[in-house]
Structure 1
């Protein structure tokens, strides 16, 4: 239990032995794709290595993180293998009771090649990663390209458990984008970042995934999603469509006897989860060239103009109010609502009372008032119950501090509200990372600190409720009217999704108990908006499913909740059958009435899939 909790930051924020990878080839810069100005790195993955699990198989993916021969200087092949393993661990329930590989999903060996490059959105300050996985057993009779974006702020393999696991075994190629996020952290202590092969390199030694402007060595650590100056979330849809074009061009190289690959002769399916789900819905609204044949979005972080609620709004609200609300007795049996890290929650009730935000005097009444405040703001009981984990792990503050910096296009030295990132010493104070810690960031991190030896510092005081001052500052950026607040709102407004075309098959799958991206703020207003405008999306609000399948092995979670991935796979199966002409696109579809597995192993009956 304690060992698992120590690894939670790399699962949340929000991510090996050597195999048979052959030496990488470098192909010249693209002549037909002006957004790929540099070289394309091509690697072959066969012989105890593959595209889907890097040769680890299901047991290896579920096992302990596999090691590096030289932890301070791992090879590119070892970094890739561990990045794939950590991406699986961060998204899928691979626990012994979870049913992966028996009840749903699977990890067969899929040999093939990878084509990877840095690409640019017009006007961007920093590049992003694109990667095509081309299986040897590509189905040339049913040409299929799955395009996906990483969940959360994860690196390039951040959607492999969804898009790769569904598409590669079917003979589809899969193209990934990190959508301007990822774990290519830049460390000012040694002026180093991450090269295309995942290894550390210093400024000027190689093209880097992220190379911010020079700053002093004590400037800490810069994160691409947050400090690129690009507000990448505003371009998530463009990243996805660009990835589709990159995928078609790489298919021309991978299978020249079948070229050209075009949207007219190749089915292109977009799918993503969480932030990746928001990205594919953004892409659907921008797809004027009709690249996409269908979209399946899981638990999407989708933001609308004038409808629903924006993530920054309810995340900063949750940071302030949930610690007090979850002190209510109704949450006494909820997992992590009474964990050791929650002992300060009663103090939050006292702080809100001292500031006049809560009127009543006793702790029980204060907790009840905070609970009522959130219920009036649209939070459901199931969402609040599951949000206890995000609150206990201090995720709301991490989202608020990081996303504020991204929306305001701030750098690592001028983040809002005094926040900054730095390596952590063993005592939790800011320090300098050693080579071993720094080398594993790219493979192990989920994209936004804290975690993996990087801490979020600042935004605190020496009061009995030290985080309150920073959280109130972040909230004031949303509620305020000054120039900085207006700039923040402009950054958020740039991220809203547009209306997809009328004939695009689109399916949204979301857990009814999602406590990170509650359906009432995201999927439900999006689906209602589409239907009001004459579109016909399918929508599954899956009972008992929450946001993090990877949390299901935690005590109390698997007993209460269902995984969401099997419903995503099922929706993709139905979409594929429709695109192949064997099944009509339904006007509506029954939502599965699944049930929690309790203390038993997951069964097909528990999922209630049609």
Structure 2
């Protein structure tokens, strides 16, 4: 049952101030300063795990004092138990990936439950703990995780080192590493990241990754409770739940599942539907080119992060309008309005465009597009498509050799897509007021072009499209109407319409005042406008689990009707849950 494993299984116990859900930090510790390392250059596996869990929570959940986490919704309960982790491999893949199972001491043997999840974004193995862990562990379920072939196990050609199973770094050849390039690369080739440089197209296999994690979860329950074995789909309820890319993995798994899953819950899923919607690479490269200019339109003046601190328009936006005009944008008298009209015509809603201002300001479109292009084209370590690359940087932010302390913390701190954690996204050399234009135009050309690389990239994207789930599988899809990173109109909405057109009956919760990043709700201007998406994921999970355990019919109420919280603290009435 575990013939897919590429390493021995590492078993650890977590109790006495180091639990499964928060690594002993509790809500206050999760909110607090980054977990410190006694020796920053040589952190222990226990320190790295604690910090990785903290970073994952902070990157996903709204832990701010006004957000209501832990009081109105969600849990940071102390859950003792064991973890089982290993490297696994899919047939044909170049690189291994991580799987991990948490088995609580309070596992409910009378109502066996396994939650299976995949990391959001390109995060590491704990990248879904704030959703799946917080939903399942306090209810006596085991939780199985996969990093779905991405993750933060960065490889440094300068030191020929990567990340081993316990999170610490090791030299290539001395241990099995989370990611090691298939061939030797020059020492000055820059940082190698698994999502971009593994030689695989991990997104094409997200569904297989998740189902494999479920099988690993059943096997680890056998190991944890041999007196109650075997754990099988016939005697254990298995619920898949995920957010963003993790939600996409859940829906991809639902489309190829042959009876392993009992329910699938996807929040803000990045999902490509055959013949409907738009693929992430398409709208991300479009947004990267057009949004900086469109956001200069006066209607975005009050939008968070659309303006400089003094209220002025970003210079980068003015430069982008000039670039668009130089390349044929009509309406030279009002370029921002013309760019905005272009995006609306392409399907962007005003609500999505408003929250996309933050994605634009943080330069996430370019980072996502460069990384995904490299993954789709199966680029080796070193230069990426269109001249992009990843480089370490010094304390002043200049490309160069990273310190040992920064390198040692990558596994805990990195999101799986630079920039961040001491790694830069480097762009092709360009001059002028809009130096980002040539690289972005090249990335867009990989979608719109007709040459061989563009044809290969589009074929790789086609391999990521969903398949229909079986008719009797309960599917719940939840998406914020104001999501500006994975717009609902391009992903979840067409997927739900597709299911309904093929005689499936998904539960569909479009969430008014919902956006993509709950963690942003603690930032000025966000929490007063938007509600936390995780709250609806927990509510759906509880209803689904109760129905599965009771054997009764699954009846979720109609979509909640939330309202923005305003300047005060979040209250239960704002969530609109019934």
TM-score bucket of the superposed structures, by smaller chain: over 0.9
1:276 aligns with 2:246: yes
Shift of 1:355: 1.2
**Residue 458 of structure 1 is aligned with which of 427, 439, 448?**
427
Q: C-alpha distance in 1, partners of 2:534/2:315?
A: 34
**Residue 538 of structure 2 is aligned with which of 531, 555, 569?**
569
Contact 1:460-1:468 at 8 Å conserved across structures: no
1:510 aligns with 2:479: yes
**Residue 361 of structure 1 is aligned with which of 317, 332, 337?**
332
Counterpart position of 1:174? 143
Q: Deviations over 1:184-209 (max 9, x none)?
A: 00001101000000001110111100
Q: C-alpha distance in 2, partners of 1:149/1:338?
A: 35
Q: Deviations over 1:291-340 (max 9, x none)?
A: 00001000000012221000000000000000000000000010000036
Contact 2:37-2:47 at 8 Å conserved across structures: yes
**Residue 232 of structure 1 is aligned with which of 202, 217, 223?**
202
Counterpart position of 1:254? 224
Residues 162-241 of structure 1 correspond to what in structure 2 (within 5 A)?
162-212=131-181, 213-241=183-211
1:342 aligns with 2:352: no
- Which secondary structure state, in structure 2, belongs to the residue aligned with residue 560 of structure 1? coil
Shift of 1:580: 1.9
Q: Deviations over 1:95-138 (max 9, x none)?
A: 00000011111111100000000000001000000000010110
**Residue 399 of structure 2 is aligned with which of 425, 430, 434?**
430
Counterpart position of 2:82? 113
Q: Deviations over 1:138-164 (max 9, x none)?
A: 000000000000000000000000000
Contact 2:53-2:126 at 8 Å conserved across structures: yes
TM (norm. structure 1) is: 0.93
Counterpart position of 2:237? 267
Counterpart position of 1:592? 560
- Structure 2, unaligned runs of 5 or more: none
**Residue 486 of structure 1 is aligned with which of 455, 479, 486?**
455
- Which secondary structure state, in structure 2, belongs to the residue aligned with residue 272 of structure 1? strand
Q: C-alpha distance in 2, partners of 1:412/1:543?
A: 42
Shift of 1:460: 4.1
Q: Deviations over 1:248-307 (max 9, x none)?
A: 01100001111000000000000000000000100000102x000001000000012221
Shift of 1:414: 3.5
Residues 22-41 of structure 1 correspond to what in structure 2 (within 5 A)?
32-41=1-10
- Which secondary structure state, in structure 1, belongs to the residue aligned with residue 166 of structure 2? coil
Shift of 1:418: 0.4
Contact 1:459-1:471 at 8 Å conserved across structures: no
Q: Deviations over 1:469-519 (max 9, x none)?
A: 000000000000111101001111111110000000010011010000000
RMSD value, Cα: 1.0
**Residue 314 of structure 1 is aligned with which of 283, 301, 316?**
283
Contact 2:481-2:515 at 8 Å conserved across structures: yes
Q: C-alpha distance in 1, partners of 2:18/2:419?
A: 31
TM (norm. structure 2) is: 0.98
- Which secondary structure state, in structure 2, belongs to the residue aligned with residue 478 of structure 1? helix
- Which secondary structure state, in structure 2, belongs to the residue aligned with residue 469 of structure 1? helix
Counterpart position of 1:14? none
Contact 1:220-1:421 at 8 Å conserved across structures: yes
Shift of 1:463: 1.4
Counterpart position of 1:393? 362
1:601 aligns with 2:572: no
Shift of 1:582: 6.0
1:477 aligns with 2:477: no
Counterpart position of 2:256? 286
- Structure 1, unaligned runs of 5 or more: 1-31
Q: C-alpha distance in 2, partners of 1:329/1:584?
A: 50
Contact 1:412-1:420 at 8 Å conserved across structures: no
Residues 108-147 of structure 1 correspond to what in structure 2 (within 5 A)?
108-147=77-116
1:352 aligns with 2:324: yes
Contact 1:43-1:113 at 8 Å conserved across structures: yes
- Which secondary structure state, in structure 2, belongs to the residue aligned with residue 292 of structure 1? coil
